[in-house]
């Protein structure tokens, strides 16, 4: 369920598609801080569930903010979760979040860097 107009959603999907050209991400979503999916894009090889990604992003945000606060790290910048078979990155995009996932661990550094860049663009688009 999307809470933005179709034109803005189309622009978001185009940005997400562009991001996957620069970073080897299998799936990427823009979600609200409450876990509502606004836009989603995945490669053909991806088996990611967009609704699950949105829900998990809200849970990661809460845990990340709590950890940053308790450890006196100041404002949360991003959350990175790395498992044996892949990783997810959650970054702030203005008042929203961008979450990307991939199976290829060797691409994690590039994915994080590109997500930071695109998160700023997405934040600007959504603040219009």
pLDDT digits (tens, 9 = 90+) for 4-35: 788 888 888 888 888 888 888 999 999 999 99
- CATH superfamily for domain 6-127: Dynein light chain 2a, cytoplasmic (3.30.450.30)
pTM for the model stands at: 0.86
- Per domain, the residue ranges of the chain are 6-127
- Give the C-alpha separation, 44 to 64, whole Å: 30
For 3-11, which contacts have Cβ atoms below 8 Å and span 24 or more sequence positions?
A: 3/32, 3/36, 3/38, 4/38, 4/39, 4/126, 8/125, 8/126, 8/128, 9/38, 9/39, 11/125
Rounded Cα–Cα distance for residues 29 and 65 (Å):
20
Q: Round to whole Å and give the CA distance between 37 and 50.
A: 7
pLDDT in tens, 83-103: 999 999 999 998 899 999 999
């Amino acid at each position: 369920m999307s809470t933005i107009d179709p034109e803005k959603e189309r622009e978001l999907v185009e940005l997400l598609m562009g991001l996957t050209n620069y970073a080897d991400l299998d799936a990427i979503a823009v979600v609200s801080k409450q876990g509502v999916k606004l836009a989603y894009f995945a490669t053909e090889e991806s088996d990611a569930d967009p609704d699950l990604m949105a829900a998990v992003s809200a849970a990661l945000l809460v845990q990340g903010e709590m950890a940053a606060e308790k450890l006196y790290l100041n404002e949360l910048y991003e959350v990175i979760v790395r498992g044996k078979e892949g990783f997810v990155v959650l970054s702030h995009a203005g008042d929203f979040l961008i979450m990307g996932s991939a199976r290829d661990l060797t691409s994690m550094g590039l994915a994080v860097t590109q997500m930071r860049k695109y998160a700023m663009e997405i934040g600007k688009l959504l603040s219009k």
